[in-house]
A and B are shown apart, each in its own frame.
Chain A
Amino acid sequence: MVKKIMVVDDSATIRMSLKTILTNAGFEIVQASDGEEALKMLQDGTKPDLIITDINMPKMGGLELIKNVRKLPRLRFVPILALTTESAQEKRDEARKNGATGWIVKPVKGADLLGVIKKVLPGT
Chain B
Amino acid sequence: MGNSMLVWSMTVILLAALGYAIPFLGGNAQGARSYWSLVTAAIAGFSSLITLLIVYFYKIPSGVVSRNAKEDETYDGIDEIDAGERKQEEEYCIDFISGIPKVCEVLVGQLNGAITQTEQAVMEMIEKMQAIYSEAERQVHRIKDAIEKSREVMRSASEEIKNNEDLASVIEEFSSQDALDVEESLRKFVQLGEEFKGIEVMVGEIAHIARRTKLLALNASIEASRAGESGRGFAVVAEEVQKLSVQTESVLKSVSGKMLGLAEMMSEETEEIKHIIDAHEKDREDRKQQGVRKLVSSLESVQKLFEIIDKNYDDIFSGIETSNNVIFESVADVLGEIQFQDIVRQRVEHVIEQLNRLNEFAENAIDLLERHEVTSQKIDDLLENMKDGYVMLEQHMAHANVLSEGNKESGTRKEDEISGIDSPKIELF
Contact = CB atoms under 8 A, between A and B. Distances in A.
Given A87-B392, A105-B426, A111 B329 contact: yes
B393 interface: yes
A102 B426 contact: yes
Interface stretch (B10-18, B337-345, B373-381): B337-345
Given A13-B119, A13-B126, A92-B420, A85 B346 contact: yes
Given A56-B391, A89-B419, A108 B425 contact: yes
A104 B426 contact: yes
A43 B73 CA distance: 71
B122 interface: yes
A121 interface: no
Contacts of A120: 428
Give the interface SS of chain B, mostly helix, strand, loop or mixed.
helix
A20 B130 contact: yes
B331 interface: yes
A107 B426 contact: no
A56 B415 CA distance: 23
A87 B418 CA distance: 9
Nearest to B342: A11
Given A12-B119, A88-B420, A112 B426 contact: yes
B346 A20 contact: no
Interface in A79-124: 84-90, 92, 96, 100-114, 116, 119-120
Interface residues of A, number: 40
Contact-residue size bin, chain B (C-beta under 8 Å from the other chain): 35 or more
Contacts of B419: 87-90
B231 to A, nearest CB: 130
B335 A20 contact: yes
User: Which residue, of A9, A109, A113, A114, has the highest number of chain B Cβ atoms within 10 A?
Assistant: A109
B332 A114 contact: yes
Given A85-B346, A106-B343, A113 B336 contact: yes
A107 B427 CA distance: 14
From B335, B343, B391, B425, residue with most partner A Cβ within 10 Å: B335
Given A11-B342, A12-B119, A85-B342, A110 B336 contact: yes
Scoring B28, B328, B333, B429 by chain A CB atoms within 10 A of each residue's CB, the highest score goes to: B429
Nearest to A111: B329
B396 A87 contact: yes
A96 B396 CA distance: 23
Contact of A13 (B130, B329, B338, B426): B338
Contacts of A116: 426, 428
Interface of B: 28, 119, 122-123, 126, 129-130, 133, 328-329, 331-343, 345-346, 391-393, 396, 418-421, 423, 425-429
15 contacts: A12-B123, A13-B126, A13-B339, A16-B123, A17-B336, A21-B332, A85-B342, A88-B391, A103-B429, A107-B337, A107-B338, A108-B336, A110-B336, A112-B426, A116-B426
Interface of A: 9, 11-14, 16-18, 20-21, 24-25, 56, 84-90, 92, 96, 100-114, 116, 119-120
Interface pairs A-B: 8 shortest CB-CB:
A110-B332, A107-B339, A87-B393, A89-B420, A102-B428, A17-B335, A11-B342, A109-B336
